[in-house]
Amino acid sequence: MNADRILAKPLNWLVIFIFIASLFVALVGLTNSYPQYWIIPRLGPFAPEIIRPLMLGASVFLVILKYSFTSSFSKSRPKLKWLGFSFDVFLMAIVAFALWRFSIDMLEMVDTMVIFGPSHAMIALAASAVFIILCWRVWGAALAIVGIVALFYYFTGPYWPGIFKTAPFNILSSSAEDLWFNLGEGIVGGITGILIFTAFPFVLLGAMLERTGGARSLIKIAFHFTRNLRGGPAHAAIMSSALFGTMSGAAVTNVVATGVITIPMIKRRGFSPAFAGGVEATASSAGQIMPPVMGAAALVMADITEISYIHIIIAALIPALAYYASLFTSVVFESRRLGIEAVSDLSDTDIDLAVHRQDYYNLILIVVPIATVVYALLSGFSPAGAGNIALTVLIPLSFLNPEVRQNPFLIIRALANGGRQFGELLMSVAVVGIIVAVLAATGLPNDFTLLLGQAGGSELVFALMIAAAASLMLSMGIPTLPAYLTVVLILGPSLTELGVSTLVAHLFVLYFCVASSITPPVAIAAYAAASIADGPPMMTAVYAMRIGLVKFLVPFVFAFYPVILIVEASGVAFDIMAFLSIIVRLSIVIYLVSSAVIGFDRRRLPAWEIIVRLILGILIIFTDPFIHWSASAAALVYLLWHNKSFRMVEAS
């Protein structure tokens, strides 16, 4: 694409405007660390009453351009194209007017008291309807329906029975303030502010990494280092997806970006299409729990919990490494089951996998931004400031790639893609804002706390199982970030009331929201991988869930053994002996569970051995020392017997 064609598109100019705005927004993040060096005027360009509506309005414009009803009618009913165009203009007009009124009234509230009337209520309801419609267009029905149900409950709450009944309220004044004219909750509230002021630079950073050559070179280098392993391409997919996924923050995007290369290679090695897709889907989704970026979820978590970002990524490190270790182990057992041997020579492939010097240069495009984020955080910068510095470093570094030097407008295309992703994400977060407003106004989380306490009783394990199931159901088909926000605001208070720390509760919910992308029946990451692998979608999802079974166990491990999170925010003081104890036992659990889900170790496992391994794996993470050490000893004796019997059969 040449420069004239790029600059001729209003869409790209709008994205450039959004990017420039983000640079100013990031300055606000910098001042969080060094406020003595900067004074932000109340009515200046950084006032949230102005910047939030500007970013929301630009995002709505982007989304309507891409998902316009005009184009839909042009394809299905060309004669009614004018109707689609009219509806697009109508939606934009509603949002523009609502955002203008928001800025005017919120700035006026600084000096005087604004009394909300019927016009304010109509604006709030109309804006809510538009964002629900746009969310449905972009992300499908799941989150939009949750938003509709939340609004229905908000207006009918006084008529519900039992603990769900809410106090009567003034519909006109309350709905206006709760849903729209509010900087704390609502569509333009704190959640939207977190996304704009904190997560935006990281969305652009992930888009830059995807488009400027680093991802492809990362995959080639991962293939190079795993070429002598039995499951070479599968191991490479896990490595590359972990590093790329932590930056991209979207399971489906990660599957598409890395899977188009890794999945055909995994199939070529001898794995089934369903297994190839399952490995890629599982590894790609888990990038969002891999520090240091964690797909921007850690940024949002830090803002909500007021826990240091550094502490969050330190806490998430060991559980993430344990999960990826389980993926590697599962691939090893599947390779043994299929009798796949290592193949060093990959020259017969359709893809050039030879690692050249340029690939190592391109790897700098991933390593340096990640290192920059970590260094900036350790130096005292806010997460937004760290992300903005990393983005500023990455743009000139991109010219290490000859493709960028030949066509510098690749950078604009990457930023345009990042702006589009941000606009789409903001539509889902706007609906989350509606849900947050309803939760705050009705006190529904307190009701869930009572229900969860009654259902789980005094046993934390039962309450956690209920919370895990609810997290999976509420987050199916929803992008991870809005899913995490929706679920944690409902269930987070319930979990903390049961005795777990805030950090543990948030990480617990995040893990299961991530796991929902590989959990049937709505396993969106697995279905995306199946389309690339030409495998059956449901079987691919089943393989992904089996391979990623440890992802469902790890949250229970750090809920009962928060010492594994290392930091004091976990709720317990760090103890080296307790830490080593759970690490050793978790390693045994990974071996047992990974081999059980594949049904193979040194030989094919009969059904009774699979059951024994799963039972021992569960007993090993029990908190009773007698139970977990007895189970650990039994597991070691059993594994020694298994290996000895295999050698005897092999010798005979």
Peptide bond into 445 cis (omega under 30): no
What whole-number distance in Å separates Cα of residue 313 and Cα of residue 566?
Answer: 11
What whole-number distance in Å separates Cα of residue 288 and Cα of residue 298?
Answer: 9
- Residue 293 — pLDDT band, cuts 50, 70, 90? confident
pLDDT digits (tens, 9 = 90+) for 66-123: 888 888 878 777 777 888 888 888 999 999 999 998 888 888 776 677 677 888 889 9
Between vectors from CA 551 to CA 549 and to CA 552, what angle results, nearest 5°?
Answer: 70
Average pLDDT, integer, range 645-649: 72
Average pLDDT, integer, range 316-320: 91
Peptide bond into 292 cis (omega under 30): yes
- Residue 258 — pLDDT band, cuts 50, 70, 90? confident
What whole-number distance in Å separates Cα of residue 381 and Cα of residue 32?
Answer: 8
What whole-number distance in Å separates Cα of residue 145 and Cα of residue 466?
Answer: 22
Average pLDDT along the chain? 81
Q: Is 131 helix (H, G, I), strand (E, B) or coil?
A: helix
What whole-number distance in Å separates Cα of residue 586 and Cα of residue 632?
Answer: 10
End-to-end CA distance of the chain: 66
Average pLDDT, integer, range 200-215: 76
Average pLDDT, integer, range 490-504: 84
112, two tokens: 């005087």
pLDDT of residue 93: 92
Q: Smallest Cα–Cα separation from 128: which of 112, 150, 107, 111?
A: 150
Is residue 26's pLDDT more than 60? no
Place of tokens 């029990």: 622
What whole-number distance in Å separates Cα of residue 437 and Cα of residue 418?
Answer: 28
The Cβ-side half-sphere exposure at 618, using a 13 Å CA radius, reads 9
Beta-carbon contacts of residue 267 (< 8 Å; ≥ 6 apart): 273, 276, 533
CA 602 to chain centre: 36
**DSSP state letters, 261-289:** HHHHHHHHHT--HHHHHHHHHHHHHHGGG
Q: Is 600 helix (H, G, I), strand (E, B) or coil?
A: strand
Place of tokens 């691939």: 331
Is residue 40's pLDDT more than 70? no
Q: What are phi and psi of 549, to 5 degrees?
A: -60, -30
Task: Give the range among 262-276, 414-428, 476-490 with minimum mean pLDDT.
Answer: 476-490
Looking at 457-479, list the stretches that DSSP marks H as alpha helix, in order from N- to C-terminal side.
460-475
- Tell me the residue ranges of DSSP E strands in 295-334: none
- Residue 513 — pLDDT band, cuts 50, 70, 90? confident
CA 419 to chain centre: 18
Neighbours of 495 (CB within 10 A): 25
Beta-carbon contacts of residue 126 (< 8 Å; ≥ 6 apart): 94, 98
Question: Ramachandran region of residue 534, left (φ > 0), alpha (ψ -120 to 50) or beta?
Answer: left
Q: Smallest Cα–Cα separation from 555: which of 330, 320, 311?
A: 320
Q: Smallest Cα–Cα separation from 395: which of 19, 2, 5?
A: 19
Task: Give the range among 14-23, 505-514, 570-579 with minimum mean pLDDT.
Answer: 14-23
pLDDT of residue 120: 87
Neighbours of 602 (CB within 10 A): 17
The domains of the chain are located at 203-404+443-601
pLDDT of residue 142: 79
pLDDT digits (tens, 9 = 90+) for 470-495: 888 877 777 778 888 888 887 888 78
Is 426 in contact with 192 (CB distance < 8 Å)?
Answer: yes
Q: Is 76 helix (H, G, I), strand (E, B) or coil?
A: helix
**DSSP state letters, 440-465:** HHHTHHHHHHHHHHHHHTT-HHHHHH
Q: Smallest Cα–Cα separation from 559: which of 511, 488, 617, 616?
A: 511
pLDDT of residue 491: 80
Q: How far, CA to CA in Å, does 13 sit from each of 16, 17, 408, 436, 543?
A: 5, 6, 16, 33, 43
Is residue 603's pLDDT more than 50? yes
- Beta-bridge partners for 604: 600
pLDDT of residue 456: 55
What whole-number distance in Å separates Cα of residue 113 and Cα of residue 525?
Answer: 49
Longest dimension (CA), the chain: 91
Neighbours of 4 (CB within 10 A): 7
DSSP classification of residue 167: -
Beta-carbon contacts of residue 302 (< 8 Å; ≥ 6 apart): 308, 309, 312, 383
The residue type found at 194 is I
pLDDT digits (tens, 9 = 90+) for 423-453: 888 998 899 889 888 888 887 777 766 666 6
pLDDT of residue 591: 94
Average pLDDT, integer, range 354-362: 79
Beta-carbon contacts of residue 201 (< 8 Å; ≥ 6 apart): 22, 26, 384, 387, 388, 390, 391
Q: Smallest Cα–Cα separation from 167: which of 487, 444, 450?
A: 444
What whole-number distance in Å separates Cα of residue 144 and Cα of residue 150?
Answer: 10
Q: Is 403 helix (H, G, I), strand (E, B) or coil?
A: helix
Average pLDDT, integer, range 216-222: 77
- Residue 587 — pLDDT band, cuts 50, 70, 90? very high
Is residue 172's pLDDT more than 80? no
**What percentage of the chain carries pLDDT values higher than 70?**
86
What whole-number distance in Å separates Cα of residue 600 and Cα of residue 609?
Answer: 10
What whole-number distance in Å separates Cα of residue 486 and Cα of residue 492?
Answer: 10
24, two tokens: 């100013």
pLDDT of residue 346: 55
Q: Please tell me whether the overall predicted TM-score, pTM, comes out greater than 0.75 for this model.
A: yes
Q: Smallest Cα–Cα separation from 471: which of 446, 494, 500, 503?
A: 494
The Cβ-side half-sphere exposure at 605, using a 13 Å CA radius, reads 26
Q: What is the dihedral of CA 240, 419, 78, 139, to 10 degrees?
A: 60
- Residue 2 — pLDDT band, cuts 50, 70, 90? very low
Looking at 8-140, list the stretches that DSSP marks H as alpha helix, in order from N- to C-terminal side.
10-33, 48-66, 69-76, 81-108, 118-139
**What percentage of the chain carries pLDDT values higher than 90?**
19
